[in-house]
Amino acid sequence: MPSLVRAAALTNYSEVARAAGLDPVRMLFDAGLSPSVLCEPDIMIPVERVGRLLQASATMSGNESFGLCMAESRLLSNLGAVGLLIRDQATLRESLHMLMRYQASLNSALSLAIEECDGLVIIREVVVAGSAHQPTRQRVELALGVMVRLIRQLHRPDWEPRRVCFEHPAPRDLSTHRRFFGPCVEFNHDFNCIICAKADLDARNPSADPAMGRYALRLIDASAMSQQATMLEDVRRMILLLLPSGRCSIEQVAEHLGVVCRTVQRRLAEKGQSFSSIVNDIRTELAIRHVTESDRPLTEVATLLGFSAPSGFSRWYHVQFGCSPKESRAARGTLHRQTAPT
């Protein structure tokens, strides 16, 4: 079953595409999307096609910050009823927890997690690749950009995060990132995240309307009854979040989902899947992204994929791809030299 996202994820696409010299209608058709999706924000469309559209737009326009440019004018209303719900929570913390609760109804390929340490809060965002070979830079930057926009609307317009971290390398031109996020933007990080002060999350929302929040909650829950995320999607999201910690076992995933292991195994078997096969598929996606599409040290890649030692990662990689990670890197370098203009 393909991962789906609300068509509202493409809000502002036409404006940013035209500003970059692109024909948005042609770009949508080429990505396998009808231009009519721009007028139907609540319909669900394949994440893979959205990723293909954003990547092609960034490549053809030469704008490495294309996804981030789309985030610059996002509003709470772009989240539909979920935007109404989080607007009327008592604190930013409660708003983010509600967003996490209903994230799957907005984008089943995006997972959120909040961690706290020494007065700081880390808001992690994990983006599932639409396909093994599809770059995720544009979708990641759009997602983190939207999160910052939401916090500014919920907290205060001039709010800046302490740090914003991206897994991917820095673009050639950092001006859009610095204008949008502020000066503390980092790249080649272990995960994608926004770091802020704990006090920001606990600040009271003076315009919160509890009655409206309760109404929005009933509205969303009633709608969600017919479109709940499957166990398979839930398990994939949790594996992505837990892999780098080295604690990605079926027991840990079941605990996070609030069920027993046997329930996870049974639901996955109903879909013709097993926990180990899903872990392997996700590791394969991540390996392609980090080994062949980045220069991240292979020891770090091994950790991100949940291996306790590089040797275990190398053995697994050889079984999957028929060569070692170092050989894949070397082959990529040879290909680049052969195709480089003279």
My answer on whether 273 and 139 are in the same domain is no
Residue finishing a domain among 176, 211, 246 = 211
Inside any domain, residue 333: yes
Inside any domain, residue 28: no
CA distance 102 to 100: 6
Inside any domain, residue 257: yes
Residue finishing a domain among 211, 240, 269 = 211
My answer on whether 181 and 268 are in the same domain is no
- Of the pLDDT bands very low, low, confident and very high (cuts 50, 70, 90), residue 1 is low
My answer on whether 117 and 207 are in the same domain is yes
Is it the case that residue 64 has pLDDT exceeding 80?
yes
pLDDT score recorded for residue 133: 65
Task: Domain of residue 73: give its range.
Answer: 66-211
Inside any domain, residue 38: no
Inside any domain, residue 290: yes
User: 194, 164 in Cβ contact below 8 A?
Assistant: yes
Residue finishing a domain among 151, 181, 211 = 211
My answer on whether 193 and 85 are in the same domain is yes
Instruction: Please indicate whether residue 312 or residue 221 has the higher confidence score (pLDDT).
Output: 312
My answer on whether 72 and 207 are in the same domain is yes
Is it the case that residue 235 has pLDDT exceeding 70?
yes
My answer on whether 256 and 317 are in the same domain is yes
Is it the case that residue 336 has pLDDT exceeding 60?
no
* Cα angle value 161/165/168 (rounded, 5°): 150
Spell out the alpha helix ranges (H) of the chain. 13-19, 24-30, 47-61, 66-71, 81-87, 92-101, 103-106, 137-154, 175-181, 198-202, 210-224, 231-242, 250-257, 261-270, 275-287, 298-304, 310-321, 325-339
- Count how many residues are written for the chain: 342
My answer on whether 149 and 200 are in the same domain is yes
pLDDT score recorded for residue 101: 87
pLDDT score recorded for residue 258: 64
pLDDT score recorded for residue 43: 85
Is it the case that residue 267 has pLDDT exceeding 80?
yes
Inside any domain, residue 23: no
The residue with tokens 């913390």 is 93
- Of the pLDDT bands very low, low, confident and very high (cuts 50, 70, 90), residue 63 is very high
My answer on whether 179 and 102 are in the same domain is yes
CA distance 218 to 308: 44
Inside any domain, residue 155: yes
pLDDT score recorded for residue 140: 96
Inside any domain, residue 133: yes
pLDDT score recorded for residue 226: 44
My answer on whether 135 and 249 are in the same domain is no
Instruction: Please indicate whether residue 40 or residue 17 has the higher confidence score (pLDDT).
Output: 17
pTM higher than 0.85, yes or no? no
**Count: domains in the chain:** 2
My answer on whether 203 and 277 are in the same domain is no
Q: Percent of the chain having pLDDT more than 90?
A: 58
Task: List the CATH number of the domain containing 284.
Answer: 1.10.10.60
My answer on whether 191 and 241 are in the same domain is no
CA distance 156 to 154: 6
My answer on whether 237 and 317 are in the same domain is yes
